[in-house]
Each structure stands twice: as structure tokens, then as C-alpha cells.
Structure 1
Amino acid sequence: MDSSRPKASDELVHVVWASHILSYMNPYTIIASDRPSNLQSKQEVNDDDGSDFDDGPNHDFSSIDNEPLTDNSEVLRQKFLDCICELLAHTKGGKTVTATALREKEDEVEVDIARNNGFNAKDEAYLGSLKRFLAMQDDNVSRQALAEYSHKFLRDTIAYTSERVDSQAEAVAKLLKRSPYRPSRHSGSGGYTQDACLLGCCSAAQEPAFTKTQNLLEEFLNFDFYRSMFSTARDRDETRCKIVELAAGIAHSQQAIQATQGALDSMIPSVDPHKAIQKWRILARPVTCLRILSQIARLLPNFQVVTFISMSPPAPLKLQTSQIPTIQEAWKRLGLPSGPNGDIPPNLARKDGRFRRECGYSLFTHCEIQLLTRHEAEPSLAPTLAYFGCSKKACFLCESFLALSPLKVRTRGRHGECHPQWAVQPCNSESAKRRLKSLCKTIKQKIRARLEPRHNPPPVAIHQSSAVSELKSSDMRELTRQSRNRELANREGQGLRERRQILSVGPPEIWYRDLRTLCVMCQTPCARRCTRCLATWYCSQRCQSLDWPAHKLLCSRYRKFLDTCPSKDYGLGIWFQRDTCRPKLIWAPILCLSQGFHHADFDHFLGHNNGVRFTIPFAENKRRGLELDHYLTIWYCDRDEIPNKSILAAVEACHGMTVPYNFRGHYVVMRGQHGSCTGTADHEFPDITLADFRHTLDWFSTGSVFAVKISCPLEQSIYGRELFTAVDVDPDFPSTSEVSPLSVALGLPIMVCQLEQDDLDQTGKTPQEASVEEQTRMNPYARVLMTDIDMESENWGKAPQFWDIDGTILLQREDREDLDLACARHLCRYCLDVLKPLFERAVSGEISRQNVLEQITPKKAIAWKPVDSSTGVVDIDKPRPRRGFVARMGSARWEYLKQGSRVLEVTDKIFREMGWLDC
């Protein structure tokens, strides 16, 4: 039987042993000094007693501590994930603990969902209703339809989470039981009144908080009847909904909380009002979560289109009999400290039977680990936010294992309890073994700390569940204002782009007097500075949001860092460290040698012994066709084999940008030109700006070249693709490729690269249909380009017999330079329209091979003009107008063109005087 089960790796077995031993000694791993700062977010309250409840007035309604929320804030996305988890964890206990991860796109979001025990048909149906609820937040949906569906869905949610609601209601009733109740005879007209419904989807007159508190207390005083056999299922459902809605109305805002505290003090003075309100907030969780989700969906329209991807948990794992030793043997094999005679602590020795029995229990993969293993196995599915939402805080083993992952995923908190029935699947990969080994070391450190209690403070128990707090009202107002401003800026920016066509076609040229007047992203004039760093310029909110993922790495630090300059002999630069994922602002000393040359000292940043230093000065942003008005210089060292993490992270944070190859070692970027002589325009090293940071990232990412894709007939007919298309690819494009012999003879060596075939359904097709499809996959240009022109070859004039590259192909220059679309189209059509018929005639013996070879010359190909077969008119390619350059007035290009213009004016004047222009 043991041999039929999958065998756990030795590293996982050791983790199971060690975690059982730790749980016998004390399963909690967090000491008391850790509790205030590290364990629980200030945005949450516990799902148990009120020992951690803060008495501060604004504590539970703060969305973030030090800065206001924005539409780019991660807090909104974290709350979105946490709310989904809390709704899906509809029962108490570990079985329905749920975790979520987010992949955000421009028009939609995808949410991966994992649960300890998986999902059933009821859960999938609820996810479908939740998806519709989020879609209903669209502004185009009528308010009446939204209100009707929202209130219906709220009742469905309360029914879906009925087991958890009943459990929490029982806890509230237990708290209030036998407490003297003094009903109030006045209406409490001075209390807080809410004029909107609980979900904020419609207007509805709400009772004062004082009245709601009294009604809710009376419901709990009759709680025994609610649970009795005399009440019907319908009565219980109605009472449950009433309790949840009353609790939500009481705990909705700070004003309502204050009014409720006064009511509780007067009606049940023996009960701590803070503890009662905390439990009511947990009871109101269905309403709170739906309200937060609807608010976020209205503020972030792409969150209205959600795809939920539920994951199936792996089957439980069991240790084989041979992997379950005695507790004494496990202690010894783990290398834990023993007594003088090899003894283990007596209290553990007495638990040998329990140890062997519990080591044979099933091991489950927690939901956080399910998400992590999925994202590591398929990097393309990695979340855009390095955060896992969860209905509970992470356990000790999950928290420690997540910290060892390169994804560096955060969670909503940790409770620190060690759950020994824990597993990772698959556990036999080298990466998993390495991390399990490190995890085992961490557990053994905790065990050793238990053996020396005098030197280590005792661990404490931490509540595992918490409730997501409301969004702060001031934050909601600010977010709404930002959303409206963003829509207005997008409309204005779109109109500007349509008028000037700055992103697609663009004017032939743009001249500027001051580079700071241009948008750093699209070079639109009249740009405005970033209000936070004052060191970069944007024309619209859209351009600012495109630059924000990289810009935020330095934006908040820039202005304060300028005030820390040691002296005027230092220059501000950017240090791309190889071992961290964030670039760093630095002050580099500027030295002036006796010859008058200036250079910066980077020994502290590049190292003293990293070989020869290299500099790369540049004054052009090729990605954006921009000629800078100053030099930027990159310093780096050779003989460093460690890839640079900060360059990779900063570049790939930008939408659609990648690094063409691994940059190795440290890099420093400064403004100015290395070695410039005193007295010249570039002899100083001014402080670098964050606009220069954008130009530097563009330089690091500009490694792609233009290639030409030739679509096969099948792809053209199905997807409407053009025959010839210019594409942007890496110079080392990975593909099966061959150099075309004809292109070499025509003076432009081109590689014919194979592309993956489209995933078209092959099932259910007749042989005739399959034959037709095979013919439409054939690419005549690919075959003619590979025609054999070796005079001594038996296959002369034909494509190679072994040729199997067909379908859509990619043409790339052999020298890895840009391939012009018009040039490639002309060459291919010359080969197919002119040379292919000649090859066929030569093979049949009508003409000689020499006659064909005479036509395979660059001069013949250039002179040939293609003719449209339908009209008989010469087909002349009209290139699409593109912006030629963006350059500064007064630059060398400017003076050159001005001089050329003056020469033409003088020539025209002479011709007119001689009367030649009149002819």
C-alpha cells in the first residue's frame, strides 16, 4: 500500500517531524514584543475577542496610515482580494480558508482563487453571481436595476455565509447573555442617521443608530427562540438578514460607532461597548465586503470585468510507514541538541505514540501554497500585485515558505501558529527541496529557543481571522474626484493626440527650445511637471500613468534627497545595484584632474577590483526618436557575471518594455559627458533628473530590431492579417532559421525564421478540408526565398527537399539590423513574380541557367517595378508618414538645415535671374 502512494521527499518529511515536535512544545511562534507592529494590519479587527481592539476614534476607519489613497494605490487592490476571500470563506475552520491573487489588465482583471478543500457547484454558482454584481457597477446600468440586483445578491450572500453568520451571532448572544438590559424610552433623535442604503446603491431613510442598537439588542435577547425548534427556516433566514443589516448600519461609520457606544452604555452598562461593537462588525462582514467591492469597481472600471479562476487543490499527501520513526529517532536525525545520555526532554518522550500516530495523518497543501506553486510553475500567470488576499492570516509554515520564494509575495498578516499537517506539492523539485531545507532550519531554531526559556521570551497566541475595514470617507471623496479628473484628462489627451497624431503618425519633425516643455513619454509640447518630484514632465494623466510603474521607484525620494548634497563637488546620479530590485539615488564626488578634465569617482558603487571601467555616453532616445539637449553617461565594469536585478525590475515595470539581454554587474548613470574639458558646454556634471531616468530606461530597453512577418493565406483569411507586416523583435530571436541564398545574391542577406503555427482546430475535418488547409498554410514566399542557386547542385532552381518551414514566417536581416518593410516586400515580390517563373522555365529546359542568373543581381532587383495584376498600373509603395526626429533649436541639426535652406534660396534667386525657372 505504501509503495502505491506518492512518496514525500526527505526534506518535507523532516519538516513534518520538526513541526510536530514544535507544536508539542508550543505551537505559537510569535513573541509578545512582535504583536503591535508586525502582526496585524491597522486596517483590520480580529474575528475573536476584543483584546486587540484599538480604542482610538479613527483607528478602524483608516484606509492607510501616512498617505491618501489614489487610483494606483495597492491598498484598494488588497482590499478587493481580501473581501473576495472573506465572502468565499463561508464557514469557520480551516477547510474553507481561501486565498486570491490578481492579474490586472487594462480592460479587465483575472483573480486566481484557491481554497484548502476546493470548490463545489454551490461555490461556482456564487462566483457567477459575484461576477455579475461587479459588472452591474457600470455607469451604463440603471440605478433601479442596480439596486434591485444588489439587494437580492446581499440576501443571497447572507444565506451563502449563514453558517459563519450563525456562529458569530451565537458569540454575540453569549457575550450579552444575563446582562441587565435597560430599554430606552426615548427615540434617540440625536443619533446619526444614514440617508443611503447599506450598499450605497440607492437612497433609503435609515433609522438613527440609537434605535438600531436597541432593535439589535432585542434580537439577541430573543436569540434562544431564533435557534429553537419552533422557528421555521424562513423565520431564521429573515432574522439572520435583519441581524446582519442592523449590525452593518451600526458599524458603518465613525459617527454611528460613537452613537452606538452611548446607547450601549445606557442600555447594557455591564458589557464592554468596544467588544460588542467589534463583534457586530464581524457580524456585518457580508455587507461590508459587498460595499467595498462595489466602491472599488466603480472607481476602477476594469474591476467590473472579472474572470474568476478557481483552482483544484492537490490530493492530500501521507508519509509512508518507513518515513515515520519514533520521536527519539526523529529528534536525533534532525540534529537537535540531546542530553548527556542522548535523552530528549521527558515531556516529549512521553508523546512518542501520539507523534507516530499524527505523523501518519494526511498532509494538506494550504491555499497560499497552491497559488505560489501555480505562479512559479507558470511564470506567465504571475500576479501583477505581489500580494495574496486571504480569509485568515498566514500560518507559521506558510509565512516562512512564502518568504523564501523569489516572488516575494505579501499577505494580510500572520498568526504564527504551526500547523503540522502541512505540505508542498510538488515537493521533489530542486527548488522545493532547497526551500524545505531552509524551512526545516527555521523550525529547529524555534525548537532550540523553547529549550532555553530563560533567554527567550515566551510566544503568545494570535487571532487568526480579521475583518476588512471600511474605505475612509475622505479617501472615497478624493478617489471619486481623481476618477472624474482622470476621465476628463483622458478625453482631453485623446483629442490632442488625434489632432496632432503624436503617438501614431506624428508630424514630420518637432523643434523645441527647452526639453522640459515636452512630455517625457510622447514629446507633446506644453507639458506640466510631476507635482511630487518636480523633475519630469507629462502632457496628460495617461502619459503619467504609463510612466508611473517605473517613475514611482524614485519619485517620493527625489526632492528630499536633493537637500542631502554633501557639497558642490558632488553630482547626483542613479545607481542600478545588481543585488536589489530598486535603483538608488547617489551623490558621486566629481574630481578635476590637472589637465582640466572632469570625472566622477564610483569606487564606492562599482567596486575597486571589478576590472576595467567602461563609459557609454548618449544624447539620443532612439525609442522615442528624441534628440536630447545634454549627454547622459553610463558607467559599468567588466568581469562581473552577476545579472543586474534593478535594471531588469525597473525596465520590465514599464508596460511593453523588456531588456534585450542581461546587464551584468553594477551600473551608474550621470548627467554630463565623461572626460569633458573645462570650458566646454559639457564640462560639468549637473544633477540628474527623473526625466533622465526615463531616457536611461529607454536606452536599456532599446535592443530590439525591426523584422517583417509574412502571413500565410490561412492566417490572412481567418484573422484578416496583412500579407507583409513590420514587427519588433529581439536581435537574437529564438527560431529555426536559414539564410536565403537568393537574398545573399541580391545584396541583402535575410534569414527566414519559423514561427509557431496557430492553434487551429484540426478535429472533425474531412480529408478534403485538411488538404485545402494544408495548401493554404503553404507560404510561396518562404519557398522561393530558399531556392537553391548552386550551379553544381542537383536541386538547382527548387526549394530544398528537406524544407519544412511553412505557414507564417519572419524575415530578419542576418546582420541583426533593422529590416525595412518596403525593401523586404520589394525583394520578396521580385523573387516570386520575376525569378520563380524563370527558374521553372530553366528547369523545363526552355531557357538556360545562365539567363536566370543574369537576373539575380541587386541592380536588376532595384530597377524592377511591381505591376498590379488587376489594374496593370505600376504599384509604388507609399511609406506611411512618420515623425522624423525631435530636436532642439540651435542644435547641429538645426544649423545644418538652416545653412542648406540658405543655399537653396540663393540658387533659386540665380536661376530666376537667368530665366531658367520660367521654362
Structure 2
Amino acid sequence: MDSPSLQVSDELAQIVWASRILSLLNSNTITAPEEPLQSDQEMDDDNAADYDNDLDQDFKSRDAGLLTANSEALRRKFLDCVCEVLAHTKGGSFVTAAALREKEDEVEVDVAQNNGLDAEDRNYLDLLKLFLALQADGISPQILAESSHALLERTIAHSAERVDSQVEAVAKLLKGSPYRPSQQSGEYTAKTCFLSCCPATAAQEPVSTKTQALLLEFLNFDLWRSVSSTTQDRDDQRRRIVELAATTTQPPQTARAAREALESMIPSVDPHLVIRMWRVLARPITSLQILSKIARLLPNFRAVAFILLSPPSSFKLQNRQIPTILQAWKLLGLPSSSEGRILPAKIDKKHDFKKKCRRNLFIHCEMQLLTRYEAQPSLCPTLAYFGCSKKTCYLCESFLALSSLKFRTRGRHGKCHPQWAVHSDNTESIRQRLKGLCEMIKQKIRARLEPRQTPPPVTIDQSSAVSVLKTSDLLEITLQKKNIEIANKKGQELREQMQILLNPRSVGPLEVWYWDLKTLCVMCQASYTRLSKDHRLGIWFPKDTHQPELIWAPIFSPESGFHYPSFDRYLGPENHMLWTIPFAENTRRGLKLDHFLTIYYCDWDQITNKSVRTAVEVCQGMTVPHDVEGHYVVMSGQRGSCTGTSNHTFSDMSLADFRHALDWFSTYFDTTIRETPSGGSVLAVKISHPMEKNLHGRELFTSVDVSCNFPSTSDASPISRVLGLPLRVCQLEYDDLERTANSVDGFTEEMSWTNRFARVLMTDIDLKSDNWGKTRQGFDFDGSVLLLREDQADLNLTLAKRLVFYCLDVLKPLFGRAISGEISRQDVLDEITSEKFIVWKPTDASTGVGAEPRPARGFVRKIGSTRREYEKQHFHMLDVVDTIPE
């Protein structure tokens, strides 16, 4: 008999048919055993998904990622961890999803599970709430430790079935493998506090000891299972395995050491697969670690209210909606095969299509949450993300993409469940989305019927996730990817730079620093020729020779207690002023020095120094951007500093100090604008003058690479500071461009060199200024300009273009309206916020960052009387400012 609980629409029935047909064409689309399935079996995910490669990324981000209070990744991980600790048993019935509404002093979390949460889950969430509340400052360490340890034990016990299932999988993988015990490993006896609630303990055993202890647990699994007669024995052994798994898989360097130990102990088994499976075993601990760290960082996450959703009842298709497979094929409009057969040969055999279509339909936890928020928009989460204990199935992910709320998930595993359904499918909006979803499934079916189409080995082809992202999301992902690339590159450069600093053969000509290739560095040998205890070894760069020289400079210590080195012999007569440049940072290599180096020179000479240029240019890839004049001396220490301070006291120059000095000369007064990154540089954005674009075919906005200390006449943009991206506008020389333009036919001197992009950034926003809304007085930069971040970080090209066009297309017209008295100045200032800038959707194609219609501005209705009058007076703003929806 049909279930009387719900009338199923024809659109949902067609999805059931299409999903069944797709499963017959690809047996890997779902779990399809020969025996009849239970009500929840078909909803289960592939077991291998528990320890696939995405775990490595989660693990790395948790340990190595920089977590900040405004990071969206924190909130996503919080939801995923809550779902993982609640999904205590493998199987589709226990897949859990969650979403949050964040408030100033608390957080509400909606939790849904495919089969619903029971009383045991509610009791566990009460303990979890208490655990998060105790992460506040001022809590007694004893109370925190007792609560934390109790929750850890409860979490492992709560996940007993999942842990035991994973233990059996690991034991099966390792069973019968040749074992070679490590000679260095001892017996594991340490007690570790995993939640940072107890004082630090003594030194831990080596990783190989922990790895061997855990490995023996699995190799002796059959014996342990036979002798563990009591429940307490099994609980103790389970906890021991989970704790050992946590100690051998985190942090990343420990996991690498564990892999190396596994390679020697069980060479016949893939160590990477074993580590991934052990990480799944460690989930009860790693999830609590992440939750505690987030609660310590974000105070409002210490007050969490969990709201549990009751799952809707299952239902079935009506008898009239259950056709034969041939009828379903025709009703869906699927094509015939190339041989003229209606059904492909692959499924033209005995099957139970009608029987399977009579099975109960279930509403997945993601769909339960979506239904709640579409029915009650006031309850929508503050973060458009569903945390989940598993990756989302194909139908859920596709249906979420068709929703206007655009919720994201942690990923998609690609399976298509024919028993999938949505609630309240009789609304017109859901019907239309179901039709679209059915067309997507039919497209998959048609693709598999192509004779030249090679079916994927396991899952259905996945659609691009980028298509469902908003522009702001895409920009965030782009920035994150760029930051990762920069971090990896800087790490590689640092390793290479340290090798260079420690390699004396990389610094200058060999004859300068070596008497011959068999002796030690001459700097090391020079220590035996010290003139007195008041002399320090320095490096002299003569102006008229091609080689620097080692010198012994006397250091005087007057009664005032200051260092005064004497360089009259090397820098010229005493009657000329001595200049010093101290530095403690190698900007070319991004290194902070633990001592000062000081460069000494006199200002009287005008002869270019030859030895500086020669020594720098013999280093591979280095040049002198600015010629220095006269003699130069470099010493280790800072002139004029107090005696006795370790970081200022003069000492002998080392080979690494000499390399730092050469790097300093290679970046001194560097005005070079490069298209490819180099050491000690940052990414900036060049805004070319239209004349340069016309003459040389260059883009208006280009990403360039310049020195961290780019020397130029510059000014800070006040409007960029308020928008959250403080920029410096730097003047570039345009004499060559002007000469080239003068030689072009049609150019007249009356043509403006004004750069409108630079001027809009320098708009005066001081309410007390008489020049408010106009270019700030004194700013006269013309031609091409350069944009640099004030914090000397890399400037993203897309983000810079967004900011410039937001000022030009949105703010500049508003400034004009305020100056004319049509609106108030405060109305304009209300638009100069980082929040308004982030959500703005540019429509100008020149920005290159998307053309989606942006959200409506709140001030439009307030300052405009009617839509018609507004269009007449300000038609030029219609590309930027949308109307407010009724």
C-alpha cells in the first residue's frame, strides 16, 4: 500500500526513474548488491571515502594553517567537526549535517541526521556544550581537565562502532604482512594530554616506538579480540588504539616519521594508505582538538545552542508512478541505441526495476536543512555552508546549486542515490528545480550511451564547483591559492638562500676569499692576524679597484660607553662628514638578522665605486640598480650603540655578513619594475596612462614586481584605508613616454597627462576639509602610477581593480551629488565601508572580475524620490546602482 504521508509529484518520480537507470548503466554509481537492501543501506557511502586524499588537506590546514578570528575556514571546520563526532556509526542513517547562526555572544547550530538524533546524542551534545564553555579564561585547571578527559572518553565510546569498523579494516589490510621489528624502538608507556588541559609532561617516546606499538595492536588483532572478554577490556584497548593513532599522525612531521618507520617495519604495505587510515581512527581526538582551539579563539563559540531537527517520515511513489523500465525510458525521452534498440544491451536483461522503485524514499540531512531555511528565511545561517560528516551526494549537491540560497558543502563524492527525495515538492519553485535536476541526470545517461564515451571507473563526472560560487567567494579562493603559492615559493627561496649564505664559493671571485682552493676561507685565517683586542674585522669596498678587501678597524670605547670605529684611512680625510646606514634585515631574501650591519661612507666623493659593482654582479642573478660613489666600509655592529648589548656590539664580519651586504647593495634604491617576481620584492599594480596603452599596447592595470622599499614620491590614499585596503600611490617617471608621445602625429601639448584612476583614490574624505569630495590638495601625480600596499604585502591585481572601479563608478558620482547638495555627505560616507565594497558586484567589463548584478544599495530609495526621476537625472549610474527589490 502506498504511504499516505505525502503525495509525490511527477517531477520527483522522474528523478527516481532516471537515478535507477543511471545506476544500471554504472554499477559504481551506488551500492548495488544482489541481496535486498535494508531501508538505510543504499544511502551508505563508499568506505574508502573515509580515508581518501582530502584528509591530508584537512590535516595540513589544521596543523599548519594560520587560524585568524575572521577566518571563514574556522567556522566551516567547527561545523564539520560537530558532524563527525555525531556520526558515530558508519552507514547512511547516521550521516549528519549542520549549519550555524552566529550572534555577538552566542552561536546557534542546527543539526540534522538522516535517521534522526536520539537521546544518547542529546546527552553527548550537553557534554560538548559544557566542554566548549570551559574554554574561557579563568577556569580552574582541575575542572577543565576533568571535563575534557571525561568528554574524550565519552567521544571514543560514542564512536565505538565506527572505530571498531575502522580497526577491523586496518587489521585486514595488515594481516599476513611480513613484520620486521625496529631495533631502536622501546616499549610505549607515555601518557599524553591531547586537549592541552594538563601541564606539559616529560619528553615523549620516539615516533618509531609509538608506530611500532600501534602496529603490534593490529598485527595481534585476532588474539586481542579473543582474549578481550569483558567490555572494559575492549574499551581500554579501543582508547589505546585511538590515542596511538593520534600520536603517530599529528603534527605533519610526526606523520612523515611514522611513514618512514612503517616502510622499514612492513615494507610490503603502502605506508601512505596506512597513515590515512590511522587518521580516521584519530578523528575523535582531532575533532575535539579543533573544537577546543576554535572556542579559545572565538569567545562566542563558547556559548553554543544545538537545535536538533526531527527527520521527516519516509514515503513511496504511488502505484501509478511505478512503470516498467521500458516505459520509464520512453517517458524520460531517452534516446535509442545505435543498433536501434530502445534499451542498451548493458541493461537489457532480467532486472527488478519496478521492485526497486517501490522502495521508501528518504530526505537527506542536507535537504532537511535546506527545506527549513527556504520555509523560514528568518532562520537562514550567517554562513552559507553546510558542515557534513561525509561528502555530499550528487543529487544533494546539484539541488543545492539550483537553490537561490547557494549553500556550499565540504565536497561531493559523486554517487547518485535513487532513494533520494525532497520535502514539500508540490511548490512551483521546487518543481522547477526538480525538472532541472532531472535534465542533469538524463544528460549523464546520454553521455554514458555514447559509444566513444569511456565511463569513469568509480563515480559520475562532477560538474565544476566554481559555477555556483559568488564573485566574492571566487575572489577569496583566488587570494588563498595565491597566498599558498607565495608561501611555498618563499619557503623554497629561504632554503636556497641559506645554502647560498653558508657556501663561501658563492660570494664574489674565488681569488678574493681563497688563497687557493685547498685552504680555508681567508676570513677564517684572518682571525690569527688581529692587531689588538680593540680591532674588528670589516670589509672595505675601494672606489678605484675591482675587489673588496678585509681590514682591521680599531674600535674605541670612550667614557660615554659608545662604539666609535675609525675609518679615516679608508674613507678619506677627517674633515668630511661620516654617514652611516645600519640595517638588520635582508629584504632580498626576506631574512631578519639577529644583529646589525652598518655601512659607512663619506659624502664628498663623486667617483663611482667599482668594487661594489664587481662583487655584486659576480653573484648569479644580481645587479646594482643604483651606482654608489666613493669608498664604503661594512662592519658588524651599530655605530653609536651602548656597550654591552649583544645585538649592537661590534664583532668580526662573517662570510654570511658579507653576503647580506652584497644583497643590500643589490636592492638599494631599486626602481626597477619587473614582470616576473624576484627575491626581496612584492607584487604591486601599475596603472598605465592611456597614452602608454595607445603607444605600447599595454593594459591599463598590470601586476608588476618591485622592491619592498620601492623609492618614489608617493602619497597614502585616504579612501583605500577606510575601505580596508591601505594603498600607497607612487609617481612613476614619464619623461620617456612624453618624448615618445611628442614624436607621434596628432599629439598636442594640450592633451592631459592626468591619471583619473590615481586621482579618484586620492579623494579628500575629511568632513572638515574645504576640498571634501575632490582630489586632495597637493596631489599632482600625472602619467602612470604604481599602487603598493602600505603593509608591504603583495597586492592582488583583481582586488586592486575592484577597489579602483568601486571608487570611480560608485563613490565618485555620489561625491558629485553631495557637492551639488542633492544628498548629504553622510550618505556618501555610509557607502565608504569595507562591507559595502566586499559585496559590490562590478558591471564594467574592464574590471575583469565578473558581471553579476550586485546587491541593491540601501540609500537609493532614501535619496531618490521615484525611479523615473532617478533615471532621468542619473542615468549614467544605472550600470552600477541597482534598484531595491520590492
What TM-score bracket applies, with the shorter chain setting the length?
A: 0.5 to 0.7
Equivalent residues in 2 for 1:278-297, closer than 5 Å:
278-297=276-295
Cα distance in 1 between the residues matched to 2:373 and 2:310: 14
**Structure 1 residues 254, 341: closer, same or farther in 2, change over 3 A?**
closer
Verify: 1:309 aligned to 2:307, yes or no.
yes
Cα distance in 2 between the residues matched to 1:439 and 1:234: 50
Verify: 1:671 aligned to 2:670, yes or no.
no
For the Cα contact (< 8 Å) 1:92–1:164, is it kept in 2?
A: yes
CA shift for structure 1 position 4: 3.5
Verify: 1:251 aligned to 2:249, yes or no.
yes
Of residues 187, 196, 200 in structure 1, which corresponds to 2:196?
Answer: 200
Cα distance in 2 between the residues matched to 1:188 and 1:65: 27
For the Cα contact (< 8 Å) 2:811–2:831, is it kept in 1?
A: no
**Structure 1 residues 127, 417: closer, same or farther in 2, change over 3 A?**
same
Q: What is the TM-score when the length of structure 1 is the normalising length?
A: 0.51
CA shift for structure 1 position 204: 2.9
**Structure 1 residues 406, 600: closer, same or farther in 2, change over 3 A?**
farther
The corresponding residue for 1:121 is 119
Match of 2:346, SS state, is helix
Cα distance in 2 between the residues matched to 1:234 and 1:51: 28
For the Cα contact (< 8 Å) 1:29–1:459, is it kept in 2?
A: no
Equivalent residues in 2 for 1:30-41, closer than 5 Å:
none
For the Cα contact (< 8 Å) 2:294–2:301, is it kept in 1?
A: yes
Cα distance in 1 between the residues matched to 2:835 and 2:174: 65
**Structure 1 residues 250, 566: closer, same or farther in 2, change over 3 A?**
farther
Amino acid at match of 1:421: Q
**Structure 1 residues 12, 46: closer, same or farther in 2, change over 3 A?**
closer
Cα distance in 1 between the residues matched to 2:153 and 2:832: 55
**Structure 1 residues 25, 54: closer, same or farther in 2, change over 3 A?**
closer
Amino-acid identity (%): 55
The corresponding residue for 1:701 is 858
For the Cα contact (< 8 Å) 1:251–1:277, is it kept in 2?
A: yes
Cα distance in 1 between the residues matched to 2:185 and 2:63: 37
Cα distance in 2 between the residues matched to 1:79 and 1:337: 44
Amino acid at match of 1:14: Q
Cα distance in 2 between the residues matched to 1:245 and 1:16: 44
The corresponding residue for 2:375 is 377
Cα distance in 1 between the residues matched to 2:257 and 2:265: 13
1:609-630, CA deviations, whole angstroms, 9 ceiling, x for partnerless residues? xxxxxxxxxx9999x9999811
The corresponding residue for 1:345 is 344
Cα distance in 1 between the residues matched to 2:685 and 2:832: 16
Cα distance in 2 between the residues matched to 1:571 and 1:278: 48
Equivalent residues in 2 for 1:608-647, closer than 5 Å:
629-630=772-773
Cα distance in 1 between the residues matched to 2:306 and 2:376: 17
Match of 2:99, SS state, is strand
Equivalent residues in 2 for 1:256-267, closer than 5 Å:
256-267=254-265
**Structure 1 residues 3, 83: closer, same or farther in 2, change over 3 A?**
closer
1:553-580, CA deviations, whole angstroms, 9 ceiling, x for partnerless residues? xxxxx985554665589999xxxxxxxx
The corresponding residue for 1:580 is none
1:226-280, CA deviations, whole angstroms, 9 ceiling, x for partnerless residues? 3237611111011111111111111121222233223323332322222221111
**Structure 1 residues 292, 627: closer, same or farther in 2, change over 3 A?**
farther
Cα distance in 2 between the residues matched to 1:336 and 1:440: 12
1:26-54, CA deviations, whole angstroms, 9 ceiling, x for partnerless residues? 15579xxxxxxxxxxxxxx9963899549
1:355-384, CA deviations, whole angstroms, 9 ceiling, x for partnerless residues? 100100000001111111111111111111
**Structure 1 residues 669, 317: closer, same or farther in 2, change over 3 A?**
same
Match of 1:669, SS state, is helix
Cα distance in 1 between the residues matched to 2:222 and 2:3: 54
**Structure 1 residues 704, 448: closer, same or farther in 2, change over 3 A?**
closer
Cα distance in 2 between the residues matched to 1:625 and 1:432: 55
Amino acid at match of 1:204: T
Equivalent residues in 2 for 1:553-592, closer than 5 Å:
563=687, 566-567=690-691
Amino acid at match of 1:221: L
Amino acid at match of 1:380: S
For the Cα contact (< 8 Å) 1:134–1:304, is it kept in 2?
A: yes
The number of equivalent residue pairs is 528
The corresponding residue for 1:367 is 365
The corresponding residue for 2:658 is none
Verify: 1:404 aligned to 2:545, yes or no.
no
CA shift for structure 1 position 675: 9.6
The corresponding residue for 1:579 is none
Amino acid at match of 1:228: S
Match of 2:809, SS state, is strand
Equivalent residues in 2 for 1:404-483, closer than 5 Å:
404-461=402-459
**Structure 1 residues 254, 625: closer, same or farther in 2, change over 3 A?**
same
CA shift for structure 1 position 597: 13
Amino acid at match of 1:170: E
Cα distance in 1 between the residues matched to 2:201 and 2:66: 30
For the Cα contact (< 8 Å) 2:16–2:418, is it kept in 1?
A: yes
For the Cα contact (< 8 Å) 1:27–1:418, is it kept in 2?
A: no
1:463-507, CA deviations, whole angstroms, 9 ceiling, x for partnerless residues? 99xxxxxxxxx99xx9xxxxxxxxxxxxxxxxxxxxxxxxxxxxx
Match of 1:103, SS state, is strand
Match of 1:309, SS state, is strand
Cα distance in 1 between the residues matched to 2:384 and 2:769: 34
Match of 1:231, SS state, is coil
**Structure 1 residues 322, 60: closer, same or farther in 2, change over 3 A?**
closer
1:299-348, CA deviations, whole angstroms, 9 ceiling, x for partnerless residues? 11111111111111111120011110111011001010125766222433
Amino acid at match of 1:217: L
CA shift for structure 1 position 181: 2.4
Match of 1:228, SS state, is helix
CA shift for structure 1 position 437: 0.1
Q: CA RMSD in A?
A: 4.9
1:826-885, CA deviations, whole angstroms, 9 ceiling, x for partnerless residues? xxxxxxxxxxxxxxxxxxxxxxxxxxxxxxxxxxxxxxxxxxxxxxxxxxxxxxxxxxxx
Cα distance in 2 between the residues matched to 1:273 and 1:298: 35
Match of 1:16, SS state, is helix
**Structure 1 residues 14, 629: closer, same or farther in 2, change over 3 A?**
same
1:408-450, CA deviations, whole angstroms, 9 ceiling, x for partnerless residues? 1111111111110000001111110000000000000000011
Of residues 354, 357, 377 in structure 2, which corresponds to 1:356?
Answer: 354
Cα distance in 2 between the residues matched to 1:224 and 1:336: 52
Cα distance in 2 between the residues matched to 1:259 and 1:457: 39
The corresponding residue for 2:269 is 271
CA shift for structure 1 position 406: 1.1
Amino acid at match of 2:150: K
CA shift for structure 1 position 200: 1.9
Amino acid at match of 1:10: D
Verify: 1:22 aligned to 2:163, yes or no.
no
Cα distance in 1 between the residues matched to 2:461 and 2:161: 20
Match of 1:460, SS state, is coil
For the Cα contact (< 8 Å) 1:102–1:384, is it kept in 2?
A: yes
For the Cα contact (< 8 Å) 1:12–1:427, is it kept in 2?
A: yes
CA shift for structure 1 position 458: 2.9
**Structure 1 residues 188, 407: closer, same or farther in 2, change over 3 A?**
same
**Structure 1 residues 230, 391: closer, same or farther in 2, change over 3 A?**
closer
For the Cα contact (< 8 Å) 1:327–1:355, is it kept in 2?
A: yes
CA shift for structure 1 position 188: 6.1
**Structure 1 residues 255, 326: closer, same or farther in 2, change over 3 A?**
same
Q: Which runs of 5+ in 2 are unaligned?
A: 31-44, 463-482, 488-681, 694-698, 702-726, 728-746, 758-762, 776-807, 821-827, 841-855, 867-886
Cα distance in 2 between the residues matched to 1:179 and 1:156: 33
For the Cα contact (< 8 Å) 1:28–1:418, is it kept in 2?
A: no
Equivalent residues in 2 for 1:73-152, closer than 5 Å:
73-152=71-150
For the Cα contact (< 8 Å) 1:168–1:283, is it kept in 2?
A: yes
CA shift for structure 1 position 18: 0.3
Which one scores higher on RCO, CA 8 angstroms, separation ≥ 6?
Answer: 1
Which deviates further from its counterpart, 3-12 or 246-255? 3-12
Cα distance in 1 between the residues matched to 2:185 and 2:191: 18
Match of 2:773, SS state, is strand
